[in-house]
Amino acid sequence: MDSRIVPVGGTIGILGGGQLGRMMALAGRSMGLRTVVWDPAPGPAGEAADHALWRPYNDTEAFDAFVSLVDRITYEFENVDYDAAMRLAAVRPVFPPPELLRVSQHRLREKDTARRLGLSTTPYAALQTVDDVSRAVREVGLPAVVKTVQGGYDGKGQARASSLEEAVTAFHTLSAQGVLIYEKRVEFEREVSVVVARGENGHVVTYPPTENHHFNGILDYSLVPAAVPQTVEVELIRQAEALADGLKLVGVMALEFFVGRDGRVLFNEMAPRPHNSGHWTIEAAFPSQFAQHMRAVAGWTVSAPRLLAPSVMLNLLGDLFMEGLDRLPDVLTVPGAALHWYGKSEMRPGRKVGHVTVVADTVEEALDRARRVKALLGGGWNDGP
């Protein structure tokens, strides 16, 4: 297997055709890296890549064509086909290593791995039978969230429980999907994420912690720098670096944490690729998470990022555009606002179709500008966690 670095003019293969692949391809293009996307269904990345294969991951002809076109391979979503990634890794370097897919695609394996590497997590237990539910309620406690261990994102594949009866109902609702995980719901002051990058030489760098706010289980907006004490920031970065080193990361990975009112940091989940909560880095950091990722995958140097300005990243969901896109250009009347549109053809509630990044001199000013953007698009503002 050829492990030489990818030269300028070389090609990175991307498994997955969504908006993250699109932004990877755009970042790579600026550095002279070509890209080929492979996904079973057409997606936004195809507009930015040099070539796209819209074929099933088990298609042998597509496999051979993809391998023939690329020097190294990455993926833009942790739910891409693990078996396909492993087959590709036998003939081309795949980064981050496919083992990270195996871990991140299974919530129990993810939590177990985090604990093994010294990270603190919320209390949790595996559920396979109704008796396990009763045991988890006694030993882990209430309130809790019952989740599928595989699949599910943006709030899907999970149910809250405040009593044994609700936990049993959640178990019966979700158990058709196999083993479940029971997690204690913790009181937290804020949710934050850390984007970490690691090169092949083991050099690790981190971006400033980002504060995340959700609505209906979907990330609504992120702001940076997060309002956390320096001691908390140091611990967040320590845990991010420990996971990156322990998993032999090559590329970019995002880690989500809960920060308790007592300052305790609890690992929640990981995504071994650039992340929604790091989109602000395109305008407000150097290098962006996407440029950093493509550097690492190509075997190039990763560098300590520099925060250029306080920023708020606001997700744009299909709910706002069911009647058309006429109001979109209005967001650019807000000072410091940058529009990113993903080119998705179907608008539907809850679907991420773009984002706006706002930069300013202070976080408060950036938040005020983000509220103005949301108002121009006809959406309400959420101040909750």
Same domain membership, residue 365 and residue 225: yes
Residue 3, in any domain of the structure? no
Q: Cα-flanking dihedrals φ and ψ of residue 384, to 5°?
A: -80, 180
269-316 pLDDT per residue, tens = 999 999 999 999 999 999 999 999 999 999 999 999 999 999 999 999
Residue 346, in any domain of the structure? yes
Residue 278, in any domain of the structure? yes
Cβ neighbours, 10 Å, residue 229: 10
Same domain membership, residue 343 and residue 211: yes
What is the Cα–Cα distance from 103 to 99, expressed in whole angstroms? Answer: 6
Same domain membership, residue 149 and residue 39: no
Same domain membership, residue 130 and residue 53: no
Same domain membership, residue 45 and residue 17: yes
209-256 pLDDT per residue, tens = 999 999 988 999 999 999 999 999 999 999 999 999 999 999 999 999
Q: For residue 70, what is the domain's CATH number?
A: 3.40.50.20
Residue 216, in any domain of the structure? yes
Write down which residue in 184, 206, 231 finishes a domain: 184
Residue 323, in any domain of the structure? yes
Q: For residue 250, what is the domain's CATH number?
A: 3.30.470.20
Write down which residue in 136, 164, 184 finishes a domain: 184
What is the Cα–Cα distance from 254 to 42, expressed in whole angstroms? Answer: 25
Torsion of CA 141, 156, 48, 325, to 10 degrees: -120
Q: What percent of the chain has pLDDT over 90?
A: 90
Q: Domains in the chain: how many in total?
A: 3
Same domain membership, residue 304 and residue 169: no
Same domain membership, residue 33 and residue 61: yes
Same domain membership, residue 217 and residue 90: no
What is the Cα–Cα distance from 68 to 62, expressed in whole angstroms? Answer: 10
Range of the domain at 157: 123-184
Same domain membership, residue 311 and residue 236: yes
Q: How confident is the model at residue 187 (pLDDT cuts 50, 70, 90)?
A: confident
Residue 118, in any domain of the structure? no
Instruction: Tell me which residue has tokens 């071994």.
Output: 272
Whether residue 380 is predicted with pLDDT greater than 80 in this model: the reply is: yes
Same domain membership, residue 172 and residue 316: no
Residue 384, in any domain of the structure? no
The pLDDT mean for the chain works out to 95
Write down which residue in 74, 94, 114 finishes a domain: 94
Contacts of 262 by beta carbon, 8 Å cutoff, 6+ apart: none
Q: Are strands 285-286 and 311-317 parallel, antiparallel or unpaired?
A: unpaired
What pTM did the predictor assign?
Answer: 0.94
Residue 68, in any domain of the structure? yes
Q: For residue 147, what is the domain's CATH number?
A: 3.30.1490.20
What is the Cα–Cα distance from 358 to 337, expressed in whole angstroms? Answer: 4
What pLDDT shows up at residue 2?
46
Same domain membership, residue 360 and residue 286: yes
Same domain membership, residue 197 and residue 160: no
What pLDDT shows up at residue 178?
87
